[in-house]
Amino acid sequence: MGASFFKIAVRDAPLRQSLWQVPALLALALFLAVSTNHWRADGIPLIGDWSTEARFSDTSGDSMIIPLERARQLFKEEAAVFVDARPASQYEDDHIQGALNIPWQEADSYFMDALGRLESAQAIITYCDGESCDLSHELALFLKEMGFDNVHVLVNGWTVWKEAGLPVMVNK
């Protein structure tokens, strides 16, 4: 009985050894990752603000979000240019009435054609579709970099505009 117990104990030694080595290696890797992240100049914040307000802010941290009611008012007063950041194929299917199309992926090539309307606008409102869609935010940041100040983002713009029964163009 003693010899067979010894054989089992010797055979299980690698298993017992790995039971403490695996968590030790994971703890070491976690420590090294957090330490490296902390000391890097461009480290990722461990605790971040992932709210809608923070996600749709400009480079100075100011929110770019415009509420639907304010966008509706500016539309009614013809005091804003709405800019659809979705791809041209989606814009051609349907869009906010009178909106320009500057697809974010092709903003450079569309920008010059839209410049005249953008320059005459009191406000610019970018939109795309879906709460997680960042195209409108990226386009708004681009427009701010091009020198436009009064730029806003209508979050989930196409869906909320359509659901509110506001004027749209449908080409389907």
pLDDT in tens, 31-87: 998 889 888 888 877 776 666 777 888 888 899 999 999 999 999 999 999 999 999
Same domain, 124 and 156: yes
pLDDT at 132 > cutoff 90: no
For residue 86 the two structure tokens come to 């979705």
CATH of the domain at 69: 3.40.250.10
Question: Which residue did the predictor score with more confidence, 110 or 10?
Answer: 110
Same domain, 57 and 135: yes
Same domain, 87 and 114: yes
Instruction: Spell out the alpha helix ranges (H) of 40-151.
Output: 52-55, 68-76, 88-93, 107-119, 135-145
**The total number of structural domains that make up the chain:** 2
Same domain, 124 and 90: yes
Same domain, 104 and 142: yes
* Domain stop point among 10, 32, 47: 47
Confidence of residue 2 (pLDDT cuts 50, 70, 90): low
Q: What's the domain range around 12?
A: 1-47
* Contact status, residue 158 vs residue 128, Cβ threshold 8 Å: yes
pLDDT reported for residue 85: 98
Q: In this predicted model, what pLDDT tens digit does every residue of 154-164 receive, in sequence order?
A: 999 999 999 99
Same domain, 88 and 139: yes
pLDDT reported for residue 51: 67
In which element (H, E) is residue 60 found? none
Confidence of residue 134 (pLDDT cuts 50, 70, 90): very high
Same domain, 74 and 112: yes
How far apart (Å, rounded) are the C-alpha atoms in residues 56 and 38? 25
pLDDT at 1 > cutoff 60: no
Same domain, 40 and 68: no
Same domain, 58 and 104: yes
Same domain, 24 and 71: no
Same domain, 132 and 80: yes
Same domain, 60 and 83: yes
